[in-house]
Amino acid sequence: MPRTICTAKMCEFGPHFEILQAGGFEVATVPSEVDLRKEPDRVVEQVESFDAILAGAEIYSREVLEQLPDLKVISRYGVGFDAVDLQAADDLGIAVTITPGVNHHSVAEQAFALLMGVARLTRSQDRAVRSGKWERALTPRVWGSTIGIVGLGRIGQAVATRAIGMGMKVLAYDPFPNQSFVAEHQIKLVDLNELLKQSDYVTLHLPVTSETIDIINKETLAKMKSGSVLINTARGGLVDEEALIEALQSGHLRAAGLDVFKKEPLPVESPLINLENVLLSCHIGGLDKESHRDAYAMAAQNIVKLYQGDWPEECVVNLKNTTGWQWPK
């Protein structure tokens, strides 16, 4: 009987157990006291005897993967896959899958929660009232402002429709946009420099690739409109945090709303912690009850499909030049 281990910290409940067991798998979980994000050296120890991993945010480097000879599939919960060395997975014949299309509404809601929290000074207002202060302040209106969406995939599109409902002007940058969606919603496509120049709010919805690492850096931050706001619910690797901190401290950026970071959990010594013009959350963009259920179900289904000889094309992110991949029986 093949074996699957669930490593994500929130995998204790959901439909994935039944799906995997019905597909012929023995299922185990990493002990609750072990956090593989904080203890990356323990990844091999925890997963080495398993055929498939329903994976969280832990790192699968080449060094790790080479120590897992039984591994056939890494099925990621969510749409990010930057924690996995895809070239190493290719070389070792390990399929890597994600769960597209299940959490885009949740991420879009979190992007707007951060945007509105920043726009209406939610953090400082809450603290002031709790401390007995009554500190009213004037802020720019969101209605009529311009939002620039960097990446117009499922999540970017979900942000766009919400922004339109909020009365915002929508700009978008995407190398391969969905033209029918753009036309239907009358979204203005621009290059990245123009988006940064014109937007009051810039929200990131790109994967981390060799082309997008630190796409927000000292140079691109300088191109952003003075007094604008950065929102990131995508990946911490998209932003040069030192450059962002400098832009926030100087006042060039009015504020930032951040759900993701270079290192997670965010170290308590990070200067971001003490900046008054930053609203922080702990990578919860894709986490609502519905997304949790559907993502774990799809992650489990991807494992079962691959075991049964099916190939979930839209979910597999590697092995692009491979034909005839089969689960060794």
- Residue 107, pLDDT score: 97
In order of 56, 105, 277, the CA distances from 98 in angstroms are 11, 17, 34
Which residues are part of the catalytic machinery? Answer: 235, 264, 283
Q: Is the pLDDT of residue 13 over 80?
A: no
- Residue 32, pLDDT score: 84
Segment 209-259, tens digit of pLDDT: 999 999 999 999 999 999 999 999 999 999 999 999 999 999 999 999 999
Segment 108-159, tens digit of pLDDT: 999 999 999 999 999 999 999 999 999 999 999 999 999 999 999 999 999 9
- CATH 3.40.50.720 residue ranges of the chain are 3-101+288-315, 104-280
Residue indicated by tokens 């992650």? 299
Band (pLDDT 50/70/90 cuts) for residue 8 is confident
Q: What is the pTM of this model?
A: 0.90
Q: Is the pLDDT of residue 10 over 80?
A: no
- Residue 12, pLDDT score: 75
Is the backbone peptide bond immediately before 265 cis, with ω within 30 degrees of 0?
yes
Tokens representing residue 190 in the block: 């621009």
Q: Which CATH class is domain 104-280?
A: alpha beta
Residue indicated by tokens 């691959």? 306
Give the mean model confidence (pLDDT) for residues 84-107: 96
Strands across the sheet containing 169-173: 188-189, 169-173, 146-150, 201-204, 228-232, 253-258, 278-280
- Residue 225, pLDDT score: 97
Q: How far apart, in whole angstroms, are the C-alpha atoms of residue 215 and residue 195? A: 13
3-state secondary structure of 304: helix
3-state secondary structure of 275: coil
Give the mean model confidence (pLDDT) for residues 40-46: 94
Q: Which CATH number fits domain 3-101+288-315: 1.10.10.10, 3.40.50.720, 3.40.50.800, 1.10.10.60?
A: 3.40.50.720
- Specify the pairing of strand 146-150 against strand 95-97: unpaired
Give the mean model confidence (pLDDT) for residues 260-277: 96
Tokens representing residue 46 in the block: 């925890």
